[in-house]
Structure 1
């Protein structure tokens, strides 16, 4: 990343942090994924359970591996052996003490925008786990609410569709969102979190580096 871009993200993160705090979120500015991981490890009680949603940013951070190394109880859908078992484990994760996730987009006013396929990730964000730790790059701050929803639907979702190897949706065939109702559609639930009811329940690691999708 160019130095001028980093300086711009740092300034924007400082401004955004104040707006997130007014919405009862707990922002923590991190220079990179390693710093975000280290902060998360400090926050998570070793004796508590941890669940997580599908996220490239979480994968890139290596936080799950570090938690396993210290013997953390992890509710891990990736270690299941059947769709039925996976479904049950995803439900259990909604009652974990901590939930790790990413955010698809943030508005300049501090609203969180997420789009989900099954809905487990956004369900955990809105209610269930006592603490949610969200990893998000500053490059996902897109502007006002309309612009952010559009970017999440027309940019992030198609990228995830290609990452997941889908076959039939318009974003696969044409590279563009077609507002489809296909069986494979991963844009089933759109959630806007404008404020956290419980103060500091949702910790947001604002990462200066450009990471994730």
Structure 2
């Protein structure tokens, strides 16, 4: 990243952090994903349980492996052997002490925008786990709510469809969102979290580096 890009993201992050705090979020500015991971590890009580949703950013951070290495109690759907068991573990993650996730987009006013297929990730964000640790790159701060929704649906969702190897959606066939109702649709739930009801429950790591989809 060029120095001027980093300077711009740092300035924007300072402005955004104040707006997030007015909405009862905690905002922590980190220069890179490693710094965000290390701060998250410090915040997670080693005697508590941790759940997580599907997230490239969380996966790339390496935090899951480090939590296992310190014998954290993990609620991990990837360790299941059947669709039914996976579904049950995803439900159990909603009762975790901590939940790790990424954010698809953030408005300049501090609203969190997420699109989900099953809905488990946004469910955990809105209610359930005592603490939510959310990772997001400053690259995903798009503007007002309408612009952010459009970017998440027309950019992030198609990229995820290709990442997941789907076959039938317009995201795959044309490369763009077609507002579909296909069985493979990953835009089943669109959630805007404009404020946290519980103060400081949702901790947002604003990462200066350009990461994630």
TM range (shorter): over 0.9
Give the match for residue 188 of structure 2.
188
Residues 154-189 of structure 1: CA distance to partner in whole angstroms, max 9, x if unpaired? 000000000000000001000010000000000000
Q: Distance in 2 between matches of 1:135 and 1:108?
A: 16
Backbone CA RMSD of aligned residues = 0.3
Give the 4+ runs in structure 1 shifted more than 3 A: none
SS at match of 2:100: strand
The TM-score, its normalising length taken from structure 2, stands at 1.00
For 1:112 and 1:173, the matched residues in 2 are separated by 29
Paired position in structure 2 for 1:103: 103
Q: Secondary structure at the match of 1:179?
A: coil
Any unmatched runs of 5+ in structure 1? none
How far apart are the structure 2 equivalents of 1:15 and 1:112? 15
Q: SS at the partner of 2:51?
A: strand
Distance 2:140 2:42 in 1: 25
1:206 aligns with 2:206: yes
Q: Which residue does 1:115 correspond to in 2?
A: 115
Match of 2:64 in 1: 64
Give the equivalent residue in structure 2 for 1:92: 92
Could you tell me how far 1:139 is from its partner in structure 2? 0.2
Give the SS at the match of 2:179: coil
Count of residues in correspondence between the two structures: 213
Rounded to whole Å, the distance in 1 between the matches of 2:172 and 2:2 is 32
User: Any idea what the Cα deviations from partners look like across 1:114-160, whole Å, max 9, x if unmatched?
Assistant: 00000000000000000000000000000000000000000000000
SS in 1 for 2:110: coil
SS of residue matched to 2:161:
helix
Give 2:157's aligned residue: 157
- Paired residue secondary structure (1:35): helix
Rounded to whole Å, the distance in 1 between the matches of 2:164 and 2:136 is 20
SS at match of 2:95: coil
Match of 1:2 in 2: 2
Three-state SS of the structure 2 residue aligned to 1:24 is coil
- Give the deviation of 1:52 after TM superposition: 0.1
